[in-house]
Structure 1
Amino acid sequence: MPSQDLDASLRPQSQGSCHASLKSPIQTLPAETLAGIFEAYIDWYRREPWRDILEHFRQRVRGLETVCLVCRTWREVAMRHAALWSNLAVPLILAGSMAATSGTGNSEGLADDPAMVLLEDAVGIRAWLGRIGAAPWSLTLCRTRGVATTANLEPASMVPVRDLLALDGAHLKPLDNVRFLNARFTTEGPLGDVGGLGLEGLTLPNVRGLFVGLDIPQIDREPTPLALPILPSLRQAMFVTWKLATVPHDFPWTKLTHVFLVRMINICAKDVAAILRYCAHNLQRATFSTVTDNSSENIHPPFDNPSRNVDGDGLCELTSLTHLTIGGEWVPEYATDMSFPNLTVLRILDRRGWGATFPFDSDTLWQFRNVRKLSLAGESAGLFARTLEDIEPDDGFPFLTDLYLDWNVYSVADLASTLVFDMDEPRFPHLENLRVHCEIRELENYRAGGWDASSSEGGVRPEVWLAELVASRTGENASPGVEGGCKALKGLTVRVTPPRERGRIPAGCWQKPSTPEKKCDDVAERVKRSLEAYEEEVSVDIVRGNAPSHVEFLAVDLDGWDPLFEEAFAGVPF
């Protein structure tokens, strides 16, 4: 960006030079319509990848310059429209000599240095802050690829971001109006104190949403204290690929209603339980996931500050929690002293190895008895049915209406034996919607289900099991008014996909087809034919395609979140 003041650069053209433009039909549009057009024009700048933050910032400024230089009318509309100025991105550079850094990215010389802004960018940022005025706005602070370090820069060419944003000399308090704080960091090159934003100790009284992320998980990094400003009004927090040193030090917000910690390094099941306790009174939606297979203990003891007393004694009730998603290793015993009376949506991605059992047992399952929607995905075949068959029907999610079973948590035979409705043992009597995922090895030559593709005697094909399941929950068999009856199944989705090429495959269980796409089509057609008789009663959807990734499974349901989280989360290159 040129070094001149942004305000000066936005001087309109003379009356004569814009005379022709006044004849354009667009000049007759209402100011509100023009403002909407300007927003759409500027919006694509805001959605540029965050790794190009410096160019992103400068291009967006250029876009506003272009709008304001067309004519006086356009300039006045743009200047009055607060939404055009409500999202400020600040590219940070790391102060200090980079020669002192080591190849690991740790440097004692850089740890205490403030985050800086290039002077040529600071001029535009000051003018931008003046345009924001008292309107609510969001602040993005980003150190990322392509942003220069200060090793070869003169001190006069840099401004501390703290001084730039505080604007004490101008008697302005723009930080008081920040509603959303987005902090992004690169893992490329030396970072010093990766948690430093340059705002430590400052209070942002009205920030309600916080996004913090590293674009690549660095498992070999030492745990990093997260140096953030004071956020007394914070309600929603999202952390992506961050390595927290100690949860209580980095998680000082008891009033959170929404928390999202995905691909978290060194966060284990005990940490999850501790955070749930810490935010128990207000928490409504929570998502937790680890990037590695952690044991039940962490290298650094979670919640090691005894003054916070987060562990507590006795039963902890999370009365406000309605949505819970857990990925990685879930250790049920950490929830034995918790109660989730209003939890309706539960999603679990169990990433434990082969031989893992269902992530609940009869001692912990009662806490989740009110769950209406359950999603399970895992790494171990048969995870779903292995222990559920041993649990009494009244204890195993008796009010469940929606069930989503993804890769490896069941076999087709397990699915049928567990979900075929039996009035003598009524399991899931309220089930209305079922979504299942089947690799073609399950449907093409799965031997454990009683059908061997190489056998001349044939047997019960897996799609017949699916038809039997549907038949048991439709027609005369669905009798909700009869004691021991069930509700009619309304929807069934079967995803048929090629086999995954990663992970351990049991010997003799399946053979990779020479044309996976054709095999998928053949199997999908076979499943569809087996369920045609029930299409008038049940909405049947046969989907061909790859299985959802772990990231897709864990992707936050942004309903109820601040819309700015969608933009921040969409830019994360998982």
Structure 2
Amino acid sequence: MLSQDLDDASLYPQSQGSCHASLKSPIQALPAETLAGIFEAYIDQYRRAPWSILEHFRQRVRGIETLCLVCRTWREVAMRHAALWSNLAVPLVHAGSMAPADDPGMVLEEDAVGIRTWLGRIGATPWSLTLCRTRSSGVATTGSSEPASVVPVRDLLALDGAHLNPLDNVRFLNATFTTEGHLGDVGGLGLEGLTLPNVRGLFMGLDVPAMNREPTSLALPILPSLRQAMLMTWKLATVPHDFPWTKLTHVFLLRMITICSKDVAAILRYCAHNLQRATFSTVTANSWENIQPPFDNPSRNVDGDGLCELASLTHLTIGGVWVPEYATDMSFPNLTVLRILDRRDRGATFPFFNSDTLWQFRNVRKLSLTGEYAGLFARTLEDIEPDDGFPFLTDLYLDGNVYSVVDLASTLVFDMDEPRFPHLENLRVHCEIGELEDYRAGGWDASNDGGGVKPEERLAELVASRTGENASPDVEGGCKALKGLTVRVTPPREVGWVPAGCWQKPSATPEKKCDDVAERVKRSLEAYEEELSVEIVRGKAPSHAEFFAVDLDGWDPLFEEAFAGVPFL
């Protein structure tokens, strides 16, 4: 392992002299900045390798050790280059009966040696800390099954008595746990009671397969400067009452089963002053009766008094069931991006927008609906008055089966008497042709159309009404020119699967129906290819993880790396 002995010239044995000599001339000819870039790329390969987090840490340390052992020039560049030392991963282990009940975060002594050296090299450089425990970590033992020597992570990182506390310079805290044990074993990071004064980003991911456990409060360090927080899959965990909700600018709660619409509304009120981006996934209509809310702050009135204005909120994503009644006293004057993911039965009504709540989203520019909400919105769009329904909307994405393209296109055809969406520039429509029912209900069956208008013809009418001479750059009395139209055609769920008795001909499989739809749409819009971008997409709507990954725009780049590294999405 890397140690303080790296400063000792005795580490360079004469037997390696010939190898080092062959490299010395070209090495010394390179500028230090170039060498530093090469070192970064070399160490980065360990991050991308498909190893466990424990092996990632050990290999990364060995990689830097290798660089330092080549020659004095390389060692000096590596030691001075802060980027090589800016991300420390600390592998935690289950220490069994050796760990105090209130301090579950333990590190093997053999890993602690390298960590101490790492901390000594960080100095005053801003850095990120990753705490990780996986199922493969197991209980700390030696090769002979004897208990291994372990160190509490709290003592290891705090460096009691040190002139400079490295925890003062941590900017990003990442904790990823995968466990089959009791939730209490991983609810704490081993840093409880410590203050990390400059942490601005917090990422926590936990995979707990069993659901029959009582909720456990997350034991977090004190984070007075926290601004961005992402909590993922903490299905049975609650956030402590002193969590700095009021200071957050970015909130991302993914797959938290204990959260409900009322909780979301309360969190929005907590964060009202500073919140800029918010994402809530797996939102339920009501909390479980035996589960406490995911947060608790008795010093604030979660019900709110009067109108609550979230003036800074620009991006909002809701994944799950939204009950508008909980947010009727809120306003979002600067909300520009609204994204909703939900799956409901076809007979359901569209609950998100009604006469009491629609005014809240008047200034939305980009609306993205995925799942059954897309179809519900498409079917109820005509019931929304043009002046009330998103008058400034520029982008409309319906990534769910809209069922009737004819009805949707008819509603979106620009009419001077009822100018709906006059600023619309980009439209995405999803057509699912997985079953004959979808094919016929959508009006795509040419042999059984009853003489009505074909879907592709209605799409062409929609484009014609919003392009060419009908478009007006000044918008007054007219509409902006449509710039992009995307039609997503979903293939059947199982290629070649034909429901008994559904198809008129054995060869008329769902796959061929999809080909037919795509070709017809393409032909109908060929005349407008010079005026707007037309794209026919074959494939399913975005998955759960893909839908929420889009929300990482505008976050600290370290969140994207942490999000991509979670194995249980």
What's the TM-score, normalizing by structure 2? 0.90
Match in the other structure for 1:103? none
Following superposition, the deviation at residue 194 of structure 1 comes to 2.2
Match in the other structure for 2:380? 387
3-state DSSP of counterpart to 2:339: strand
Match in the other structure for 1:572? 566
How far, CA to CA, are the matches of 2:40 and 2:28 in structure 1? 17
Match in the other structure for 2:45? 44
How far, CA to CA, are the matches of 1:10 and 1:353 in structure 2? 73
Match in the other structure for 2:361? 368
Match in the other structure for 1:78? 78
How far, CA to CA, are the matches of 2:325 and 2:500 in structure 1? 34
Match in the other structure for 1:497? 490
Pairing of 1:162-561 with structure 2 (within 5 A): 162-215=154-207, 218-243=210-235, 245-247=237-239, 249=241, 251-290=243-282, 294-299=284-289, 300-302=291-293, 305-358=297-350, 359-379=352-372, 382-409=375-402, 411-441=404-434, 446-450=439-443, 452-455=445-448, 459-479=452-472, 481=474, 483-500=476-493, 519-561=513-555
| CA contact 2:204–2:230 (8 Å) conserved in 1 | yes
Alignment-mate amino acid for residue 41 of structure 2: A
Alignment-mate amino acid for residue 557 of structure 2: P
2:29 is the counterpart of 1:28: yes
Following superposition, the deviation at residue 340 of structure 1 comes to 0.3
How far, CA to CA, are the matches of 1:95 and 1:216 in structure 2? 19
Match in the other structure for 1:143? 133
Match in the other structure for 2:93? 93
Aligned CA-pair RMSD: 3.1
CA 1:482 to 1:6, structure 2 compared with 1: closer, same or farther past 3 Å? closer
Range that drifts further, 221-230 or 145-154? 145-154
How far, CA to CA, are the matches of 2:436 and 2:471 in structure 1? 27
Match in the other structure for 1:101? none
How far, CA to CA, are the matches of 2:212 and 2:489 in structure 1? 38
How far, CA to CA, are the matches of 1:520 and 1:451 in structure 2? 10
| CA contact 1:496–1:543 (8 Å) conserved in 2 | yes
Alignment-mate amino acid for residue 118 of structure 1: L
| CA contact 2:168–2:196 (8 Å) conserved in 1 | yes
How far, CA to CA, are the matches of 1:346 and 1:456 in structure 2? 36
Show structure 2 runs of 5+ residues with no match: none
Alignment-mate amino acid for residue 112 of structure 1: D
Range that drifts further, 333-342 or 236-245? 236-245
Alignment-mate amino acid for residue 525 of structure 1: E
Alignment-mate amino acid for residue 398 of structure 2: L
Following superposition, the deviation at residue 528 of structure 1 comes to 0.7
Alignment-mate amino acid for residue 522 of structure 2: K
Match in the other structure for 2:124? 134
| CA contact 1:436–1:495 (8 Å) conserved in 2 | yes
| CA contact 2:192–2:219 (8 Å) conserved in 1 | yes
3-state DSSP of counterpart to 1:496: strand
CA 1:480 to 1:255, structure 2 compared with 1: closer, same or farther past 3 Å? same
CA 1:482 to 1:492, structure 2 compared with 1: closer, same or farther past 3 Å? closer
Identity of counterpart residues, as a percentage? 85
Range that drifts further, 132-141 or 167-176? 167-176
Following superposition, the deviation at residue 146 of structure 1 comes to 1.3
Alignment-mate amino acid for residue 92 of structure 1: L
Alignment-mate amino acid for residue 206 of structure 1: N
| CA contact 1:175–1:204 (8 Å) conserved in 2 | yes
Following superposition, the deviation at residue 475 of structure 1 comes to 2.0
How far, CA to CA, are the matches of 2:499 and 2:479 in structure 1? 37
Alignment-mate amino acid for residue 78 of structure 1: A
Following superposition, the deviation at residue 518 of structure 1 comes to 5.0
| CA contact 2:124–2:169 (8 Å) conserved in 1 | yes
- Aligned residue-pair number: 559
CA 1:172 to 1:248, structure 2 compared with 1: closer, same or farther past 3 Å? closer
Following superposition, the deviation at residue 218 of structure 1 comes to 4.7
| CA contact 1:95–1:110 (8 Å) conserved in 2 | no
Match in the other structure for 2:65? 65
Following superposition, the deviation at residue 294 of structure 1 comes to 2.4
Range that drifts further, 138-147 or 511-520? 511-520
Alignment-mate amino acid for residue 357 of structure 1: T
CA 1:441 to 1:118, structure 2 compared with 1: closer, same or farther past 3 Å? closer
| CA contact 2:333–2:360 (8 Å) conserved in 1 | yes
Following superposition, the deviation at residue 260 of structure 1 comes to 0.9
Range that drifts further, 62-71 or 24-33? 24-33
2:106 is the counterpart of 1:116: yes
| CA contact 1:432–1:487 (8 Å) conserved in 2 | yes
Range that drifts further, 331-340 or 451-460? 451-460
| CA contact 1:383–1:408 (8 Å) conserved in 2 | no
Show structure 1 runs of 5+ residues with no match: 99-108
2:557 is the counterpart of 1:563: yes
How far, CA to CA, are the matches of 2:94 and 2:56 in structure 1? 19
Following superposition, the deviation at residue 545 of structure 1 comes to 2.5
- Residues 335-371 of structure 1 show CA distances to partners (whole Å, capped at 9, x for unaligned) of 1010100001111112344433222111101010000
3-state DSSP of counterpart to 1:94: coil
CA 1:568 to 1:456, structure 2 compared with 1: closer, same or farther past 3 Å? closer
Following superposition, the deviation at residue 179 of structure 1 comes to 0.5
Alignment-mate amino acid for residue 39 of structure 2: F
How far, CA to CA, are the matches of 2:457 and 2:121 in structure 1? 67
CA 1:349 to 1:263, structure 2 compared with 1: closer, same or farther past 3 Å? same
3-state DSSP of counterpart to 1:308: coil
| CA contact 2:522–2:536 (8 Å) conserved in 1 | yes
Alignment-mate amino acid for residue 139 of structure 1: L
CA 1:6 to 1:556, structure 2 compared with 1: closer, same or farther past 3 Å? farther
3-state DSSP of counterpart to 1:413: helix
How far, CA to CA, are the matches of 1:19 and 1:97 in structure 2? 48
| CA contact 1:424–1:484 (8 Å) conserved in 2 | no
- Residues 153-200 of structure 1 show CA distances to partners (whole Å, capped at 9, x for unaligned) of 767711010000000133430100100000011133445332111100
- Residues 114-133 of structure 1 show CA distances to partners (whole Å, capped at 9, x for unaligned) of 31100000111101110111
Following superposition, the deviation at residue 520 of structure 1 comes to 3.5
| CA contact 2:414–2:420 (8 Å) conserved in 1 | yes
How far, CA to CA, are the matches of 1:10 and 1:514 in structure 2? 78
Alignment-mate amino acid for residue 440 of structure 1: I
How far, CA to CA, are the matches of 1:197 and 1:92 in structure 2? 9
Range that drifts further, 258-267 or 460-469? 460-469
Following superposition, the deviation at residue 477 of structure 1 comes to 2.3
Following superposition, the deviation at residue 305 of structure 1 comes to 4.3
3-state DSSP of counterpart to 2:216: coil
Match in the other structure for 2:55? 55
CA 1:216 to 1:499, structure 2 compared with 1: closer, same or farther past 3 Å? farther
CA 1:247 to 1:195, structure 2 compared with 1: closer, same or farther past 3 Å? closer
| CA contact 2:348–2:376 (8 Å) conserved in 1 | yes
Match in the other structure for 1:106? none
Following superposition, the deviation at residue 517 of structure 1 comes to 5.1
Range that drifts further, 190-199 or 318-327? 190-199
